[in-house]
Amino acid sequence: MPQRSDTRAQTFLLPPSLEEWTPVEHPVRFVAALIEGLSAADWRAMGIDPTPDPVGAPRYAPALLTSLWVWGFMSGVRSARALERACREQIPVRWLTGNQCPDHNTLWRFYQAHREGMRALLTRSIRVAVAADLVDLALMAVDGTKLRANAAAERSLTTEGLQALLARTERAIATLEAQNAGGAEAPPGLPAKLRQRQALQAQVRAALAADRVAQRGRAKVNLTDADAALMKGRQGIAPAYNAQAAVVATNATAQALLGATAPAGRPW
């Protein structure tokens, strides 16, 4: 079948439009609307004069620099150098800045000069987003407790302990098999003790093959319950779980988000 051209030398037949390349639901559009909605009093409260000086070298518009910082804090980009890089590499940011790229020194000096005003604006941006139903403002509380596992502490072994147990189990299996081999008076099937040893052998081999000790960063693994770990509680050190519960309060109504048992060493 025919193939699409993949040459990088292709030029545009018509001028490209950043407006068309930026989705209507992209967060940069909320930032632009927020900054455009600021009044002269809002700018004065931040200590910024939006009116340019008629003489001297042209400056970047305060609205442009403010938009960049608001977008940066909303998206987790809080470095002046990272913002400068985003102006070059990200199409939505190029739309936000009108295809301009202030350098990191300009961005940092602007933020340093208006830090307190920017902080108030960032707080206001959250209130506006909540009022516009763009985000949900919620209070979340998380707490945890230790739950005793139905497993014996003696069954918690290190990697070396598992290997030693496997060697002892294999020797015991060999002895039992030798006793059970061939005799006319031997009972049919495997003895219960031999079946138990073989089950333990398979269990230990599985624990070693999975390398649970190394993967979970724990010193020991429990053969009865691999999800349990030795933890210190009111009754001493015993196999247990770390249970976590989270509750979120939205619109003054508390709702349970999560109530589950997280294995020790494996946070949610």
Q: What is the pLDDT of residues 132-165, one digit of tens each?
A: 777 666 666 777 777 777 777 767 777 677 677 7
Q: Which residues contact 168 (CB under 8 A, 6 or more apart)?
A: none
Residue 41's beta-bridge partner residues? none
Residue of 12, 26, 249 whose CA lies nearest to 139: 249
User: Which of 64-73, 181-190, 211-220 has maximum average pLDDT?
Assistant: 64-73
Distance CA 84, CA 50 (A): 22
Q: Supply angle C-alpha 8, 13, 17, rounded to 5.
A: 90
pTM: 0.54
Residue 216, classed as helix, strand or coil, is helix
Distance CA 219, CA 212 (A): 10
Delimit the domains of the chain by residue range: 18-51+60-137, 144-179+192-262
Q: What is the pLDDT of residues 50-109, one digit of tens each?
A: 888 888 889 999 999 999 999 999 888 989 999 999 999 999 999 999 999 999 999 999
Q: What is the DSSP letter of 117?
A: H
> 136 exposed, middle or buried (CB, 10 Å; 0-12, 13-18, 19+)?
exposed
- Strand-pair category, 156-157 with 221-222: antiparallel
